[in-house]
A and B are shown apart, each in its own frame.
Chain A
């Protein structure tokens, strides 16, 4: 098992980053070195190729190919708000940043975005937004639901800022336009991969809450506009009618050996 131990993975994130930097130190070359007194927090690891970033204005030296989340943790912060799934699904780690010499505000998920030299960043712990309260059974899958629940949609000025700020690369403005037309299916399709990080609604000059509109549309589509499965209702009823009771009873009373024989002999689709 010694060999196994040698390839074991999963050192804590920082240690892995150190290793990477040992490997790639000669390829980095763009680091703009600040003097020691200019860096607020400096780590004592000589082999690494580090760059300077500013976490809420405070300078830290961090590995140059870290994600923003990795860099924040490398800096010694314990994230409480601002990390969730850490793989790009949950939207907990919305982050805004600027790069040196660039007037633009950039957006990204901290778990997915790599640091850059001179990046000045802040995580957005929460985006206030009022979710409409509704009974899905009483809504209609058309523009009326949008009008009643999220009338701010009609304030859209088609500036496209939402789309530009989406870290998932979704056509956010297009789905807001579809919502205005009551095209629930299009909203569902275009907002399907939304992770609800909230960056679009933070940037929107019309104060629309885009992700919430997307969730409503997806629910309306699933509830009302789906094509019903012909066999699902039949199967649900068969279970309720106890069609499988006898077979369950047989399987559950089988010895482990008999069950194993049955298992390995089963055919496969």
Chain B
């Protein structure tokens, strides 16, 4: 339940609701959408990326001297877990055609397509369980231009406008053109899409869509897709080997500068294993668990940007790594679920963001960066936020409108996860609004790829959230679900094709030595060892006691030290 002091504000929300309901029933927008100039102003004034300390130049690697998100620069200026002379590469522990790093949506799609189209074997090496990925958590849906009033080119225009015209055009074309085919591919695998009476796909609006284009599986869209893909992967144990709790910690190259596999780390036995692979796919997802700018995140436990740093050390260029997506509607109250995602489909279905007076202050379906910035502005500049008992702040998201617009029972039927999330804390979202604030959601940039998922490094492919370029500096809702399907499939196709022709040379980890030298030459002093693998939520006093191990001095390769880097003196 909401604390008593919020009652007055809640009363105002209820008071303004009938008028707002009337507005929502009309075809015009309930609040005027921003023009280009207004968008620019709210972004520059209030988006966290524009805060003074949000970015700094990275001192090493392919993007050297480019200004990146500060936490990303920190991540890249770090030591490897490994020293090349300590790893024996002449007898790899495992060999395969295609090594897939990451067991989320992109990785599973790639394994299936590589098998079906090329008949090749793959290993999926993943940090936690297969399916422990942001894929599993997407609620609202997937964009795909399937309705009669829509077209893939219109989807292209929406996506590229939402990304402020900085998206790589060939990637957006691939995304939008493959969209309808992906819907069919998933449906034939057994994904149960929400349908209308005549069998047409149910479509909804998302932020920045000019046509209803969001396809859904209730609000368990990602879970439905992920579980279907995983189930199919597990139906082919002879072709696809799944190694869980075995994240990659470095890529292996060959003497001709091609990617040739990776070194895996067993989270449980703490051993390292080498994999020789003809082609390698990074499908490690994003970095929400780095808690950029101290924000809460909607991301899963393992989202620590591992692929970025591995690829960067090997020489792959990053794109748009100065841009972070904050989802406009993360939970602000109750405290226990703070930062959790409230699906954008709530606004797609008619939910409205309101200030403490119960008034609209932004068009509910602006692109995400604009909507998030407008919410921050409302709280910070206009004092329109509602404070929470723990010192957070939030604006209302008026969900009771949804049943009023679509009929009683609609919310429980179409948003069962959201309903469950709040009713546990005594908040019935069909009767009361939710209190929300932006939450760290998505890595807009990443490793640069082309439409074949190729990088600067032969044999290294990347798909899904780990890539950069597709979304420009702002992704629209539902385009990431489409992204990992489209580019996961493309990665399987092209990495599979490459695997059939390549003859690998002598394996090498020399790039790690070169990177280490570059760090020293640039005067970087750090005891951060990456990939991070897992965040630590241990209290500070616990961390201090844990740090007694190893004398608290040198960077090492232990998980414990790695987790605790920020607690060391001088770090």
Contact = CB atoms under 8 A, between A and B. Distances in A.
Interface string A8-23: 1111111111111001
Given A89-B223, A259-B165, A269 B391 contact: no
Interface in A251-269: 251-252, 256, 259-260, 262-264, 266-269
Contacts of A133: 234-235, 237
Interface string A128-142: 000101111000000
A266 B157 contact: yes
A85 B48 CA distance: 24
Nearest to A193: B416
Nearest to B187: A222
Interface string B414-448: 00110011001000000000000101100000000
A9 B145 CA distance: 36
Contacts of B379: 7
Interface stretch (B72-80, B85-93, B192-200, B476-484): B192-200
Contacts of A233: 184
A231 B160 contact: no
A67 interface: yes
Contact of A10 (B148, B295, B538): B295
Interface string B3-46: 00000000000000000000000000000000110000000001
B501 interface: no
A168 interface: yes
B2 to A, nearest CB: 14
A9 B437 contact: yes
A16 B338 contact: yes
A269 B212 contact: yes
Among A134, A239, A260, max chain B CB count under 10 A is at A239
A5 to B, nearest CB: 8
B153 A269 contact: no
Nearest to A3: B380
A65 interface: yes
Contacts of A99: none
Contacts of A16: 335, 338, 390
A9 B232 contact: no
B474 interface: no
Interface string A63-79: 00111001001111111
B169 A188 contact: no
B301 A222 contact: no
B376 interface: yes
Interface in A176-214: 188, 192-193, 195-196
Contact of B380 (A7, A15, A44, A269): A7
A112 B184 contact: no
A219 interface: yes
B222 A4 contact: no
A88 interface: yes
Given A23-B389, A218-B224, A12 B291 contact: yes
A160 interface: no
Nearest to B387: A7
A17 B542 CA distance: 15
Contacts of B542: 43, 75-76
B298 A87 contact: yes
B528 to A, nearest CB: 17
Given A76-B546, A78-B563, A90-B300, A263 B199 contact: no
A226 B211 contact: no
B36 A264 contact: yes
Given A23-B389, A259-B160, A70 B293 contact: no
A98 interface: no
B234 A7 contact: no
A229 interface: yes
Among B201, B231, B332, B381, max chain A CB count under 10 A is at B231
Contacts of B107: none
Given A10-B440, A16-B390, A218-B192, A229 B291 contact: no
B56 interface: no
A157 to B, nearest CB: 27
Contact of A239 (B170, B177, B237): B177
A116 B278 CA distance: 53
Interface string B245-279: 10000000000000000000001100000000000
Contacts of A70: 336, 537
B149 A269 contact: yes
B393 interface: yes
A11 B198 contact: no
Interface residues of B, number: 117
B548 interface: no
Contacts of A44: 541
Contacts of B546: 76
Interface in A28-79: 43-45, 65-67, 70, 73-79
Contacts of B340: 87
A239 B36 CA distance: 31
B534 to A, nearest CB: 7
B181 A236 contact: yes
Contacts of A89: 136-137, 220, 222-223, 417
A86 B331 CA distance: 14
Given A4-B376, A192-B218, A269-B212, A236 B184 contact: yes
A169 interface: yes
A219 B180 contact: no
Contacts of A66: 336
B557 interface: no
Among A112, A188, A268, max chain B CB count under 10 A is at A268
B227 A232 contact: no
Given A45-B541, A76-B542, A84-B132, 19 more contacts: A8-B293, A9-B330, A14-B539, A19-B390, A65-B335, A65-B336, A74-B538, A74-B539, A84-B128, A84-B301, A133-B235, A192-B192, A218-B228, A229-B199, A232-B187, A233-B184, A239-B178, A266-B157, A266-B158
Closest 10 CB pairs of A and B: A219-B190, A227-B199, A263-B161, A10-B296, A76-B542, A222-B190, A73-B537, A10-B295, A84-B132, A247-B153
20 contacts: A1-B52, A4-B380, A7-B376, A9-B295, A9-B392, A9-B437, A10-B294, A80-B245, A112-B424, A136-B190, A168-B420, A222-B190, A244-B177, A251-B153, A251-B157, A252-B173, A260-B36, A263-B160, A269-B149, A269-B205
Interface of A: 1, 3-5, 7-20, 23-24, 43-45, 65-67, 70, 73-81, 83-90, 92, 112, 114, 131, 133-136, 168-169, 188, 192-193, 195-196, 215-216, 218-223, 226-233, 235-236, 239, 244, 247-248, 251-252, 256, 259-260, 262-264, 266-269
Interface of B: 35-36, 46, 48, 51-52, 128-129, 131-132, 136-137, 145-149, 151-154, 156-158, 160-161, 165, 169-170, 173, 177-178, 180-181, 183-184, 187-193, 195, 198-201, 205, 210-212, 217-218, 220, 222-224, 227-228, 231-232, 234-235, 237, 245, 267-268, 291, 293-298, 300-301, 330, 332, 335-341, 376, 379-381, 385, 389-393, 416-417, 420-421, 424, 437, 439-440, 534, 536-542, 545-546, 559-560, 563
